[in-house]
């Protein structure tokens, strides 16, 4: 998802402190209570452990001597223990591990500086002088640097957007990321049991997932899905789908590919609401390998802890704020509504309020819930307490949709420059790569050597529909950058860089 122009009159993200709704908090507690049986038995297990720890060897000996005289109690206790143990092992969710992931880095020939972007836009002869100036202004304030990438068909003079070139771009991105992932994991394509590909605006026949199956000769009983039209948050939807499938299919690998296609979705018209996407979206993609095999825990990087999905599509304003359509002269583009920032903020607020009870420490939850109840139910006039999500997560991967959205999230969530660095540097170096941007951000964190065992990372993305989705990961080991292969490694020493508010072109 991209952002509207700086000249538009759209509101900023809403202030979360003034608009938290009790219904959204109840959703989070509903998720929490679904594991209520384990929470209920936890105090009893702790009391039992404390009692046993106080026993001396002589007490245990006396207890052992008394057991033969109370066989009925022993049988009942043993039966109850076996029943509870069986119930626990049958109902607990199967863990989902992220074995590894890779992000595609295009060749230098695909690099597009802001100056080249303006030259190519001028050479098409499609844009009016006023709209060329509009695009220049967007680029200057976008937060994008001079090393982002565009496909060959768009950079060519004249441009050549056609189905063959779009397929070529898709194959280049998908296969480039997959080749690297298979090399890193030493996994054979035949081992893949689940394949999910998400790409919003390019859905050819045969599908993108079929193209992967054909290239790598996946086995015939592999379960494949192709997600289209779901926006920049589709990558986390694919992760959530993979999680559900892995919990239904034992001893399986799931392969998730997140990308967008630029070639057939470059806009050659003069509607300003459609020109913003040209300025922000760039070429990129990621491949992620997930597993439910307990034997893979030792070599995996992360364990999936939570996924929370929020959909606002029932509201007409939310549904129409990002729309692919024809302009007045029949040219197809993606139109961004002036309500986009307000809609994004509302979806984000719902999502994080739902997520809070699942991830925040108990102290933060009690303070938040007490003040919320006092304000909403008791009608007391007091300032709401906004939980500190920095106590729940060490790392934040916020979709690099645009500079304005990152600025507003930094302010609302009270994040530091350090927390925002992966998102801002990804936007600067690679641009808005749609659903794959979260993985470039996680790769940046790894390349900086910041990921330690036990650290928690929060990925959050939003997109058309309107949707906001979150995924929470826990690091299973400390990531050593010296052993990593990702698109940042050869240049990570150059980052972070200072990104001016207005760059020169």
Say which DSSP state 432 is in: B
322 strand-pairing partners: 336
CA 142/CA 157 separation, integer angstroms: 25
Residue of 261, 351, 399, 419 with catalytic role: 399
Q: Is 162 a catalytic residue?
A: no
Interaxial angle between packed helices 362-376 and 22-33, expressed in degrees from 0 to 180 and rounded to the nearest 10: 140
* Encoded tokens for 379: 């009608």
Find out whether 273 and 335 touch, Cβ atoms under 8 Å.
yes
**Rounded-to-integer distance, Cα 154 and Cα 152, Å:** 5
Torsion of CA 377, 379, 383, 388, to 10 degrees: 0
Identify whether 432 is a catalytic site residue.
yes
Contact 332, 324 (CB under 8 A): yes
Please check whether residue 111 is in contact with residue 147, taking contact to mean a CB–CB distance below 8 angstroms: yes
Active site includes 61?
no
Query: Which position among 112, 311, 397, 419 bears the catalytic label?
Result: 311
Contact 16, 25 (CB under 8 A): no
Asked whether the CA dihedral 471, 474, 498, 487 is positive or negative, the reply is: negative
Under DSSP, the state recorded for 301 is: S
CB 102 within 8 A of CB 183: no
Is 35 a catalytic site residue? no
Beta carbons of 201 and 261 less than 8 angstroms apart: yes
231 closest CA partner among 444, 3, 434: 434
Contact by Cβ (8 Å): 3, 463? no
In the numeric block, which tokens belong to residue 442?
């996680």
Strand, helix or coil for residue 444: helix
| Percent of the chain as helix, strand, coil, to the nearest 5 | 50, 15, 35
What phi, psi does 457 have (nearest 5°)?
-120, 135
Q: How many helices (H) and strands (E) does the chain have?
A: 17, 13
Strand partners, 112: 148
Between the two ends of the chain, the Cα-to-Cα distance in Å is: 24
101, two tokens? 């992931």
Catalytic one of 432, 468, 469, 486: 432
Please identify which of the residues 198, 351, 395, 412 carries the catalytic annotation: 395
Which of 402, 393, 400, 395 minimizes the C-alpha distance to 448? Answer: 395
Distance CA 473, CA 240 (A): 12
Q: Is 493 a catalytic residue?
A: no
Nearest to 287 by CA among 178, 192, 433, 405: 178
- Alpha-carbon distance 305 to 476, whole Å? 12
Active site members: 232, 311, 395, 399, 432
């Amino acid at each position: 998802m991209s952002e509207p122009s700086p000249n538009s009159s759209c509101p900023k993200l809403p202030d979360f402190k003034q608009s938290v709704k009790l219904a959204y908090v109840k959703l989070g507690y509903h998720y929490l209570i679904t594991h209520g049986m384990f929470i209920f038995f936890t105090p009893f297990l702790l009391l039992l452990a404390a009692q046993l720890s106080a026993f001396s060897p002589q007490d245990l000996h006396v207890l052992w001597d008394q057991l033969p005289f109370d066989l009925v109690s022993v049988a009942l206790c043993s039966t109850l223990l076996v029943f509870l143990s069986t119930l626990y092992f049958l109902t607990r969710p199967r863990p989902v591990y992220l074995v590894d992931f890779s992000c595609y880095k295009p060749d230098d020939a695909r690099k597009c500086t802001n100056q080249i972007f303006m030259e190519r836009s001028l050479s098409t002869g499609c844009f009016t002088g006023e709209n060329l100036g509009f695009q220049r202004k967007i680029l200057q304030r976008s937060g994008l640097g001079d090393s982002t990438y565009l496909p060959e068909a768009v950079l060519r003079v004249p441009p050549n957007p056609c189905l063959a070139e779009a397929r070529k771009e898709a194959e280049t991105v998908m296969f480039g990321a997959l080749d690297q992932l298979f090399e890193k994991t030493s996994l054979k394509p035949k081992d893949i049991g689940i394949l999910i590909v998400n790409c919003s605006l390019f859905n050819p026949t045969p599908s993108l997932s079929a193209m992967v199956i054909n290239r790598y000769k996946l086995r015939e009983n592999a379960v494949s899905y192709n997600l289209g039209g779901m926006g920049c948050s589709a990558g986390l939807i694919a992760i959530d789908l993979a999680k559900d499938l892995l919990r239904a299919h034992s001893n399986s690998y799931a392969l998730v590919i997140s990308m967008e296609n630029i070639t057939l979705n470059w806009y050659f018209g003069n509607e300003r609401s459609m020109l913003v996407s040209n300025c922000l979206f760039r070429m990129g993609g990621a491949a992620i390998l997930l597993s439910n095999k307990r034997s893979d825990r030792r070599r995996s990087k992360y364990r999936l802890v939570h996924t929370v999905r929020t959909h606002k599509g029932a509201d007409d304003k939310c549904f129409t704020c990002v729309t692919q359509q024809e302009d007045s002269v029949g040219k197809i583009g993606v139109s961004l509504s002036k309500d986009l920032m307000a809609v994004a903020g509302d979806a984000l607020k719902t999502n994080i309020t739902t997520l809070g009870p699942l991830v925040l420490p108990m102290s933060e939850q009690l303070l938040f819930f007490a003040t919320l109840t006092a304000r909403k139910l008791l009608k007391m006039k007091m300032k709401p307490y906004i939980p500190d999500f920095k106590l729940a997560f060490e790392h934040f991967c916020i979709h690099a949709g645009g500079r304005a959205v990152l600025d507003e999230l930094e302010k609302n969530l009270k994040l530091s420059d350090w927390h925002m660095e992966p998102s801002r540097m990804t936007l600067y170096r690679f641009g808005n790569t749609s659903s794959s941007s979260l993985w470039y951000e996680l790769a940046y964190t790894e390349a900086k050597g910041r990921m330690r065992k036990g650290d928690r990372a929060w990925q959050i993305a939003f997109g058309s529909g309107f949707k906001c989705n979150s995924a929470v990961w826990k690091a299973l080991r400390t990531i050593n950058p010296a052993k990593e292969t990702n698109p940042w490694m050869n240049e990570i020493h150059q980052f972070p860089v200072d990104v001016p508010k207005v760059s020169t072109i």
